[in-house]
Structure 1
Amino acid sequence: MSFGPPPSPYTQSAVAADQARRRRRIRLLSGAVAVLLAVALGVGGRLLLSSSADDGARADDKATAAQRPDEVRTTVEEIPASPEGQQAIEHYAEHLEKNTDTNPRYAPGSWATDKIFARGVADRVEGYRIKPHYDETAWTLELGGHICATSRHVTADGRTAVVVQPPRSDGSPDRGVCDQVVFFDLNTGRKLWQEKMPAAGFAYVTNTNLTLTEGVVAVAWGHGSVAYDMKSGKRLWNTTTTARCEDKGFAGGRALLAVVGCGAAPDTTFEVQKLDPRTGRTEWTYKVARGVDKVFLPSSDPPVLAVAAGDIEVTDLITLDGRGRHLATVSLNGYDAECGTRYYSKPFFGVVENCDGVVVGRTRAYVMSKENIASGQPSDWIVAFDTTTGRTAGKFEGREFQRVYPLRASGDDLLIYRAGAEPIAPAALVRWNPRTDEETPLLLFALPEDDEGELSDPQRTDVVVEHGSVFFAPRELARDDDAPKSKVLMAIGYTSAGLTH
């Protein structure tokens, strides 16, 4: 693998930190059988949404169906006829004898449509048909080089993009450069276009960020940025390194925001700009206070910043209005935003939009708490904050031995993954209405026992919900030292055993 300029970012020191996170957590169940048995039987006060809430979800779904093809998809999950889950896909990686924990096969990028679950694996993307008892790869898109950056965004008609590092000889001055953008169809695996990024000699896996917004694919790598038209692949605009301030990364979706860094480290100051996606013109600028070391953008609309002020971890959420004016600051003391924590906190495959402990809806920001190890109490919880006022607007508690993780918004509700505590309680995909504090179990299922720890860790695994199914895809694939020639699980998914309505 030839990622990055010398020295390689994948050094022993990069992967040695916090090795304990690779060990499966052992949760002791003593003293909790009665509580969890009640959970398994569905006993509890918050189970089914009212019919009015369902009507709202259906209205949201109709609005989603009316999206234009080039818009970034926003889907609303319906309540299935039965929450009983059945396995929809299960795929394994082979030939990992040389891939140890310190030298894994990277698998960045996971996406789903109503028909296909797709994921990036090293230098290709594979698509798996979502069909129980069907265990064949529907298509494989060979990229001709390793994936350097991905985006979680998908268009309404099922397209997305990756940035690729073309293979070059060891002596090439461009070895490790990531300068190819590939736009493709998730349902068919067909490459729609591929373009070379201009003046991208300093774009590497450690600094390249990719996003999608309406009709536009945008890439930034600190030393430059570029935007392409989705339909044609035509370059719309690009920036270079001549200016004092540089585009460090983008956030897409309903709008296009840029994190802009000005000046050299350690005295870099940051701005967040809203850009016109078609022209690159700045529509407004928000100046981040001095002393902030990192800026992440978990949402472009509403604009939400996650900032690390004088700390290596994110310390605050900052919400803005539609004109870039400050609305509220939310302290994240006691919370776990999980921004930039993937791959042992290394900036691989794009990090600006990646905050696995934060989900932003239309009027709420949902943040995961730090883990609570106190006996007889929830393992963690998710708190909703009003993006206009910054005040708390609801709390969803996990259960003892069962952590909860925010996944994505579904209309005005939040989709949550609740880890299982087998054999007492299954894992669950839950929809939470923060306005009424009601929850609806959408799917109940059991993850493979040997992989449950890794699959339930958002720092290590992509969890994707789409069209009534939930998928788990580890971002790093490594051999089992006890059985180095055995296959390794790289994707598993569940759907309802009953029909949706």
Structure 2
Amino acid sequence: MSQPPPPPHQPPSGGFGPPPEQPDDRPEQPEGAEQQEQPEQQEKSDQQESAERKETPQVPLSKSPQPSADRPDRPDQPDQPGQSPQTPPPGPPSYGYPQQPGQFGQAPQFPPNQPPPPYGYPQQPGQMPQAPYGQAPAYGQPPAYGQPPAYGQQPGYGQYPTQPMYGGGVQPPGGGSKNAKILAVVAAVVAVLLVAGGGVWLLTKDDGGTEAKKGDKGTTQGADGGSGDSGGSGDSGDSGGSGGEKGLIDAELAWTVDPPKVDKQDIIAETPGTWFVGDNLVKATTSSTTAYDMKTGKVAWSIDMPRPKDCTAAFEMSENRTVVQYGRRCEFVMGIDLAAGKKLWNKELPSKRDSSSEFSYTEMAVSGDIAAASWIGNAVGYDLSTGKELWQQEEGSDCKDRGYSGGGQLVAKLECGFGGSQKVQGVGPGGKKKWEWKVPDGIDVRKVLSTDPLVLGVNAGGESSIDITDVMVLSDSGKLKEKITIKKERHELGCRGITLSNCPGTVVDGETMYISSKPHQGGGYGQTSEIIAFDLTTGKSKWLGEPTSGGRIVPVTVEDGALLAYELPGYDKPGQVVTLDPGSGKPSPRMKLPAGSAKKEYDMASGSDVHPFWKDGHFFLVNHRFYASAGLSDLAIAAYN
């Protein structure tokens, strides 16, 4: 069991990977690049590493991973935080975690840790033989009832809420005294301990209706005191003008949305689900699914529905359709046409046991015409257009679906027996199995980084049973093609929670994977990090992209073949969006964020689960975690045009 979080304004011991000690050296250069220091020693190290891998074709297993059924009660544990820089101003911290003074952010675990040396990426990735293939049982298997959820289930619920740290004299936003915030955190810890120990929260909200509303302008503060779903506020601004460089956008903070209201019984609420359709940003929140015009923040449409803290949504959409979970117990699923703003269908999830927490760890995904959901006790597939049930887990089967990931294809993770073997399957039309990869013994599939191409994050018995130690690339037929070793002290995939998806710090496009290096000391500015590009066909690194500002940088998306990345704001300056050259990784500014709202940006990026998005020349910071206590939640959305 992890330790309770520290009171506000103290360095936390929780979170997914606050930085350890600061190193003094720089990340390693890509394979083939000139080494500036100790070239002979580096060459020897590369040869030794290559020789070791040739002698050991199998993935090294120092110890077998623990049964995934135990993990929700023991979420990923972080390294202990390091000391903040002594010379102000502090540099940008790991993206998304509350940390020690001088850093910001807690959860979007974009590059969180300050590593010991060395940095960079693996010199010569080893190969792993293809595992034998077995026959899969009929699709859909029943899990053992009452056991804790495995990896691949609902992300982040039950994690300790933590107040973001403010460094260098920056004061926290208003909304409650220090003592009140301490009490809020303590209350949240008690709630988490109750859940972990088998306690049950009895939610009292009615199921309510799902009436769609359109065209409301509203304000950021709802009529009930802050649902946050009534619209955006702030200057609409424009798309930005030329900043002296071709294509450079001088952005304004165009509009914002206030945080939604969180029921006091929930303490903390996760709100996954952000999609872009047409001119709208669509967000699932605690009481609705709402579409905002990307330029103005005006509400285009909204579908009201009760969504307590444990309700989730698919991370993806398929042909402008997705699914969201709702209801007093999160016992319903709704298919939504995101372009039209209309409900397609709604179904009650098939219950196997009468418990208020039965659906608390649901994971949902969509691909093609299929929507799939898995939770403790069952899994089900639906036709995304009609809501027709396609499958349920079979009674008495030893194997069970533990999670789904969608997008380019629907991928299912199956576990057979308690802590036994694992399988990864491709799910075709109607729920039929397309292919299957039998996971080698001793390897635990933790994350699906991409479904097209299929890229998995696994633990292969490294020094910690909670780390992703390797990235495995599979073919369209489910055969292992390549393996990339992930070094805890060098690389940051930006994954969080226990859901099978949700690694916003990793971007996969075609034959390239982009991640961040671990943050490290970056000279006078404080902490810095780099973008590392890996060739998925060879497993080798292609280039190392440095930030223009000398601070922290995280990958966001790929546009026209080039990576867009977010350079995080510093203590006294705004962040910016940059484009990295596909061949060299050299960055060039794409959007300069406004200095006048740098404090809001800094505070927003300090939130506990904030995601950066880029769409059609617009940049967004979107919060996915909120608290019942006033003053702990930052803005829900900040839009820059």
Letter in 1 for 2:640: Y
Q: Specify which of 345, 348, 351 is matched with residue 193 of structure 1.
A: 345
For 1:299, which of 438, 447, 450 is the aligned residue?
450
The CA deviation at 1:361 is 1.1
Instruction: Write the letter of the residue equivalent to 1:104.
Output: I
- Structure 2: 5+ residue runs without aligned partners? 19-80, 92-244
Per-residue CA distance 1:285-330 (angstroms, 9 max, x = gap): 2122322345211111111110123321211101111221111111
- The secondary structure found in structure 1 opposite 2:336 is strand
Q: Quick check: 1:337 aligned with 2:483?
A: no
Q: What is the rounded CA distance, in whole Å, between the counterparts of 2:606 and 2:420 in structure 1?
A: 32
1-side partners of 2:246 and 2:267: how far apart? 41
1:460 pairs with 2:609: yes
What is the aligned counterpart of 1:121 among 285, 297, 301? 285
Identical counterparts, % of pairs: 23
Q: 2:252 aligns with which of 53, 67, 86?
A: 86
Q: Identify the residue that residue 273 of structure 2 maps to in structure 1.
A: 109
Q: 1:468 to 1:374 in 2, by over 3 A?
A: closer
CA deviation map 1:370-402 (0-9, x unaligned): 111353587111211111211112222235652
The question of whether the paired residues in 2 share the 8 Å contact of 1:297 and 1:352 is answered with: yes
Match of 1:42 in 2: none
Inter-partner Cα distance in structure 2 for 1:244 and 1:336: 35
Cα contact 1:218–1:250 (8 A) shared by 2:
yes
Query: In structure 1, the residue corresponding to 2:315 is in which secondary structure?
Result: coil
TM-score (norm 2): 0.57
1:155 and 2:321 aligned: no
Question: Which of 255, 269, 289 in structure 1 is aligned with 2:440?
Answer: 289
1:492 aligns with 2:638: yes
Q: 2:621 aligns with which of 453, 458, 472?
A: 472
Paired residue secondary structure (2:411):
strand
Equivalent position SS for 1:414: strand
Task: Answer whether contact 1:225 1:240 (CA < 8 A) is retained.
Answer: no
Which has the larger Rg?
A: 2
* 1:405-424 equivalences in 2 (<5 Å): 405-421=554-570, 423-424=572-573
Structure 1 residues 397 and 304 mapped into 2: Cα distance closer, same or farther (>3 Å)? same
- Structure 1 residues 309 and 457, CA gap change in structure 2 (3 angstroms): farther
* Equivalent in the alignment of 2:101: none
The separation in 1 between residues aligned to 2:246 and 2:477, in whole angstroms, is: 39
Are residues 446 and 247 of structure 1, via their aligned partners in 2, closer, same or farther at CA, if it must alter by over 3 Å?
farther
Instruction: Name the count of aligned residue pairs.
Output: 409
Aligned to 2:371, what secondary structure does the other structure show? strand
Give 1 or 2: higher strand fraction.
Answer: 1
**CA-CA distance at 1:239 after TM superposition:** 2.4
Contact 1:454 1:474 in 2 (8 A): no
TM-superposition CA deviations, 1:198-223 (whole Å, max 9, x none) = 34548845532111111222222253
User: Given the alignment, which residue of 132, 139, 151 partners 2:301?
Assistant: 139
Distance of 1:316 and 1:454 partners within structure 2: 33
Q: 1:29 touches 1:401 (CA, 8 Å); kept in 2?
A: no
Aligned equivalents of 1:313, 1:256: Cα separation in 2: 24
CA–CA separation in structure 1 for the residues paired with 2:90 and 2:311: 47
Summarize the alignment of residues 265-414 of structure 1 with structure 2, pairs less than 5 Å apart: 267-276=419-428, 278-310=429-461, 311-333=465-487, 334-339=490-495, 341-342=496-497, 347=498, 351-375=499-523, 379-398=528-547, 402-414=551-563
- Give the superposition deviation at 1:275: 1.7
Q: Is the 8 A contact 1:378 1:398 kept in 2?
A: no
* Post-superposition offset of 1:98: 5.1
The alignment's C-alpha RMSD in Å is 3.6
Does the C-alpha gap of structure 1 residues 400 and 444 become closer, same or farther in structure 2, counting only changes over 3 Å?
closer
Q: Which runs of 4+ in 1 moved over 4 A?
A: 11-17, 19-23, 25-32, 79-82, 94-99, 199-206, 447-451
Task: Give 1:212's aligned residue.
Answer: 366
Measure the CA separation in 2 of the matches of 1:130 and 1:359: 23
Of 382, 385, 405, which residue of structure 2 is paired with 1:251? Answer: 405
Unaligned runs of 5+ in 1: 1-8, 33-78, 168-175, 496-501
Give the 3 Å change call, closer, same or farther, for CA 305–144 of structure 1 in structure 2: same
